[in-house]
Amino acid sequence: MSVRAYNLVGVSSLALYRRYRPESFAEVIGQEHVTDPLQQALRNNRVNHAYLFSGPRGCGKTTSARILARCLNCEKGPTPTPCGECQSCQDLARNGPGSIDVIEIDAASHGGVDDARDLREKAFFGPAGSRYKIYIIDEAHMVTSAGFNALLKVVEEPPEHLKFIFATTEPEKVIGTIRSRTHHYPFRLVPPGTLRDYLGEVCGKEDIPVEEGVLPLVVRAGAGSVRDSMSVMDQLLAGAGEDGVTYAMATSLLGYTDGSLLDSVVEAFATGDGAAAFEVVDRVIEGGNDPRRFVADLLERLRDLVILAAVPDAAEKGLIDAPADVIERMQAQAGTFGAAELSRAADLVNEGLTEMRGANSPRLQLELICARVLLPAAYGDERSVMARLDRIERGVNFSAGGAGTGAGAPAMAYVPGPEVHGGAPGEGSVEPGGGPAAARAAVRGPAPAPAPAPAPVSAPPVAPPAAPAQQPPAPAPAPSGAPPAPAAPGAWPTAVSAGGGRRPGGWPTAAPAGGAQSPAQAPAPAPAPAPTPAPQAAPATSGGGGGLDPRTL
């Protein structure tokens, strides 16, 4: 095998993130808040003896530490831009052999007190051929408390030739006495747009075609970590065929839900089509997809729809990272929802995703999520009511919760019965035309009176039944000399006795308004008295003669 062929095999066997590891601060992406101050410090020759780089994994902490060491030991430095030609720069290059004066230690396996003591003893020796002796301590949070205490003195007062660079994902675990003696630079996750452009450049250098929708999936899988995104991209490039990396290949390999399934379930939610929604659930399960992944992807889609509904030009502003055709479909979908309905669907899916963690039946949870979104009328909370109003405004047919009460005919007013005043309950209803009081009661309804009514006056006792038919009729009794006490205002009229001139089954005659007793009439010829009906007429308003006869109404 020739040397050229061996080099090609060696390069191709390297991971993608190692092949494209940055060699200068200018090549580091997404960390300008760190690289710019470091370069300015190198220009001003104000280099500290200890640095602490913290941040999520794969965002460039160890790479920046190596670049800083290269800048410090460059023959033309300290300089923010290494020359790349001197021996130190070549040793610390991307695929270089390394430098004896730049020692990188993995604290995860060398964080004990004995390792710290050994480092302290060797640190006082000068560099072999470089300007500085630099210790890069990776995973610094794994150093024990005893190890940190052993390093404390040398970090506090190091020799002139000694530099420390600590890199960690958990800076709070570095003891305060060490952290206070360093310059702390926090690294951040790389923005999706920046990471997508960087991955596009890498794919162009690899000369492998990649479909447009693949890069957003890779960026989403990497979650802002450059190393994780490069690893995913390396996996896709390794399995690419003659047509390159396709969208279908990326979705199946990364486990994401196909966009057609998301479009179908969103359209089913918008139109209230339960059959279509549950058909999508069946396709998800039959296709072997993870229901939790499907719900997470659905929540991501609803998030994009909410943003598009609020910001129509969200794609131009970089708020949504998706291909152009997908954005067009999402804009059409966002227009089919109301604002409250879309927000309610996103909230329910988010709550359902939380409930699915540790659930024994993910399919059942997924079906319940769909049912809750499709049936806003089953809930009486504010979100459901607003969603139903959105459907009404959009003209979508949905089943009502119940029939409304008609308002065509007025409600019948309440008229107190005789039992209120101590009489027997009535057997019939109030006839129309029962006087002004009854008319006012029918119009006003059960409205309370402005002043409390006086105490009701009990009706006088009913006279004993009439004599048998064979006895001669008694003469009419003469009017009593002493008139009875006048009825209280608002009280029911006093019924006459059973033999006082009333026909069997007839209405009782109301007492005169002035309180005078009605003239007596001949008793009825019936052998037995009829049961006394309840008085239903309103109080008489006329003076003098007898009360109002209901038979004339």
In a domain, 101, yes or no: yes
The 8-class DSSP code of residue 245 comes to B
* pLDDT tier at 396, thresholds 50, 70, 90: low
Buried b (16+ CB within 10 A) or exposed e, 221-255: bbebbbbbbbbbbbbbbeebeeebbbbebbbeebe
Peptide bond into 78 cis (omega under 30): yes
In a domain, 539, yes or no: no
Mention every residue, 6+ apart, whose C-beta is less than 8 A from residue 36. none
pLDDT of residue 390: 65
Residue 58 tokens, joined: 């794969």
* CATH code where residue 35 lies: 3.40.50.300
* Tally of structural domains, the chain: 3
Q: How far apart are CA 189 and CA 59, in angstroms?
A: 6
User: Closest Cα to residue 38, out of 220, 150, 142, 165?
Assistant: 165
Region of 405 on the Ramachandran plot (φ > 0 left; ψ -120 to 50 alpha; else beta)? beta
pLDDT of residue 70: 93
Please give the average per-residue pLDDT across 318-347, as a whole number: 86
User: Closest Cα to residue 91, out of 128, 61, 44?
Assistant: 128
pLDDT of residue 284: 92
The 8-class DSSP code of residue 176 comes to H
In a domain, 457, yes or no: no
3-state secondary structure of 419: helix
pLDDT of residue 339: 78
Q: Is 170 found in the same domain as 94? A: yes
pLDDT of residue 426: 45
In a domain, 123, yes or no: yes
Q: Is 7 found in the same domain as 154? A: yes
pLDDT of residue 446 exceeding 60, the answer is: no
Q: Is 357 found in the same domain as 250? A: no
Q: Is 23 found in the same domain as 43? A: yes
* pLDDT tier at 168, thresholds 50, 70, 90: very high
pLDDT of residue 353: 92
Among 394, 409, 436, the domain-final residue is 394
- Decide: 190 and 34 in contact? Cβ < 8 Å: no
Q: DSSP letters of 67-108?
A: HHHHHHH-TT-S-SS--S-SHHHHHTSTT----TTEEEEETT
Q: Is 387 found in the same domain as 290? A: yes
Written as one letter, the residue type at 199 is L
pLDDT of residue 421 exceeding 90, the answer is: no
User: Closest Cα to residue 535, out of 368, 369, 419?
Assistant: 419
Mention every residue, 6+ apart, whose C-beta is less than 8 A from residue 494. 457, 459, 460, 484, 487, 510, 511
In a domain, 425, yes or no: no
Q: What is the pLDDT of residues 473-490, one digit of tens each?
A: 444 444 444 455 555 555
Q: How far apart are CA 464 and CA 499, in angstroms?
A: 8
Furthest C-alpha separation in the chain: 153
Q: How far apart are CA 337 and CA 406, in angstroms?
A: 31
* pLDDT tier at 542, thresholds 50, 70, 90: very low
Q: How far apart are CA 135 and CA 52, in angstroms?
A: 12
Region of 414 on the Ramachandran plot (φ > 0 left; ψ -120 to 50 alpha; else beta)? beta
Q: Is 225 found in the same domain as 120? A: no
Output the CA–CA distances (angstroms, integers) from residue 532 to 64, 69, 508, 522, 537, in the order listed. Answer: 108, 116, 8, 17, 14
Written as one letter, the residue type at 163 is K
Q: How far apart are CA 406 and CA 120, in angstroms?
A: 91
Q: How far does the chain reach from its first CA to its final CA, in angstroms?
A: 126
Please give the average per-residue pLDDT across 367-384, as a whole number: 76
In a domain, 149, yes or no: yes
pLDDT of residue 225: 94
In a domain, 373, yes or no: yes
Among 145, 169, 186, the domain-final residue is 186
Q: Is 318 found in the same domain as 225? A: no
Q: Is 354 found in the same domain as 265? A: yes
- Decide: 536 and 430 in contact? Cβ < 8 Å: yes
Q: What is the pLDDT of residues 191-235, one digit of tens each?
A: 988 999 999 999 999 989 998 889 989 999 999 999 999 999 999
Q: What is the pLDDT of residues 282-302, one digit of tens each?
A: 999 998 888 999 999 999 999
- What's the half-sphere exposure (Cβ side, CA atoms, 13 Å) at 190? 28
* CATH code where residue 315 lies: 1.20.272.10
* CATH code where residue 202 lies: 1.10.8.60
* pLDDT tier at 387, thresholds 50, 70, 90: low
User: Closest Cα to residue 21, out of 52, 56, 65, 51?
Assistant: 65
Q: Is 308 found in the same domain as 181? A: no
User: Closest Cα to residue 74, out of 134, 27, 154?
Assistant: 134
2 exposure class (CB count in 10 Å sphere: 0-12, 13-18, 19+): exposed
In a domain, 535, yes or no: no
pLDDT of residue 324: 83
Domain that holds residue 209: 192-254
Q: What is the pLDDT of residues 115-124, one digit of tens each?
A: 999 999 998 8
Output the CA–CA distances (angstroms, integers) from residue 145 to 177, 275, 453, 507, in the order listed. Answer: 11, 61, 89, 106
Among 237, 254, 271, the domain-final residue is 254
pLDDT of residue 263: 92
Q: Mean pLDDT over all residues of the chain?
A: 76
